[in-house]
Amino acid sequence: MKNVAIFGSWWGGNIGDVSILYSMLFNLPTNKVDRVIVHSKNPNLLKHHIEEYDFVEIRDSITNYWGRQTIDTISSSDVIIIGGGGLIFSKNIYDPFYSHIFNLYPVSKISGMFDTDIKIYSIGASHLEGKFSKVITKSILSSASSITVRDQHTREIVSQLGIQTPRITPDPAFSLPIYRSETIENIVKNIEEPFMVFSIHNDLTKYSNFSNKQVAKKLIAKVSNMAKENDLNILLYNNYVEDEWLQSLKKEFSTDLQVYTIPRDITLKPPEIVALLSTASLVVASQMHVNIMSIVAKTPNIAIEYDTKVRSMMKYVGLTDQIIGLENIEAKFQEPILNYRRIDDGKLNRMRGTIETDIQKLVLDC
């Protein structure tokens, strides 16, 4: 039986990161695992999302990596899994509450002291600039016995550091299960169908040349036209921002559209979000993992390309024709929505099989 530690951005407030961890736990060979340790700066929120996995111990930490029990976690584990998610970037590198590589560098060094195996799984990298960032990133990657990445862009960054070219593996969230809970039933019951889901970051300013207000207005106009042309109501969804922002966004839509939001006191788990998206006719989203969950739900999606990772993901699943760029929001899309494509069932099943195999090997091969 193996003792496993999984390090990543597990604070529980970003549904993308939560969906990654949930999927990894879902695919672990539980008959070969004694216990799994994860660290979180918000253990109660994270516990809500993964409470069904009773073999997981969540350790309270100052950052999502370092707390009073971190060294014990490293020394008592047979394998440390780093990832997945976009952990490699150089922005705010000296800020321990923001930078992953600042935290992961000592994790990798101390793991070496205890001869604890490190495996890096389905990571993403972007905007890795500066000599220091590249040196410590290369050191982290060099400490791992195996590395997989989630897209071609990350693969190129890793290769440029002089690391052996890693294999690309699907984002683990593509293996999420679907769970239509009583909470989802109640939400859907209060929404007049058919409806589309609109989900965007609360600050897209840093990703475009527009002000945040301009971006929001252009996207609202685009989504409003889609809704009117297809006789759809609109559900605004975001598991990451304050309800006040969603309510202010709601006011920007014209009064002839029926626009809904989910009560802020409801925090949905990843499989519940997949179930919610499965009841929609269309999803328009900027968050990469909301798009992934709509693909898993078999609901047509249009991805708002705020970062290269969105295009990389959509290219991986063969849906690049269903992307809105922030610089060409007014671009015309095909109508009606029945023409929007879904992922091929065979491809999705093959991706699920790859994810299951890869995650099980992380444990069995240590």
Is 174 a member of any domain?
no
Q: Report yes or no on 354 lying in a domain.
A: no
**Cα–Cα distances in Å, from 362 out to 83, 91, 119, 175, 299?**
11, 29, 7, 16, 31
Whether this prediction's pTM lies above 0.75 is answered by yes
Tell me, yes or no, whether 192 and 265 share the same domain.
Answer: yes
Per residue in 61-85, pLDDT (tens digit) is 999 999 999 999 999 999 999 998 9
Same domain, 223 and 325: yes
Where is the domain boundary, 118, 135, 169? 169
Label residue 341 by pLDDT band (50, 70, 90): confident
364 within domain boundaries: no
Same structural domain, 252 and 128: no
Domain with 249 in it: 182-346
Asked if residue 205 has pLDDT above 60, the reply is no
Q: Give Cα 126 to chain centroid, integer Å.
A: 15
Q: What is the CA radius of gyration of the chain?
A: 20
191 & 339 share domain: yes
Residue 54, domain member (yes or no) = yes
Q: Is 139 exposed, middle or buried, given 0-12, 13-18 or 19+ CB atoms closer than 10 A?
A: middle
- Is pLDDT of 264 > 70? yes
pLDDT tens per residue across span 24-53: 999 999 999 999 999 999 999 999 999 999
Q: Are residues 130 and 255 in the same domain?
A: no
CATH number, residue 312: 3.40.50.2000
Both tokens assigned to 140 = 């982290």
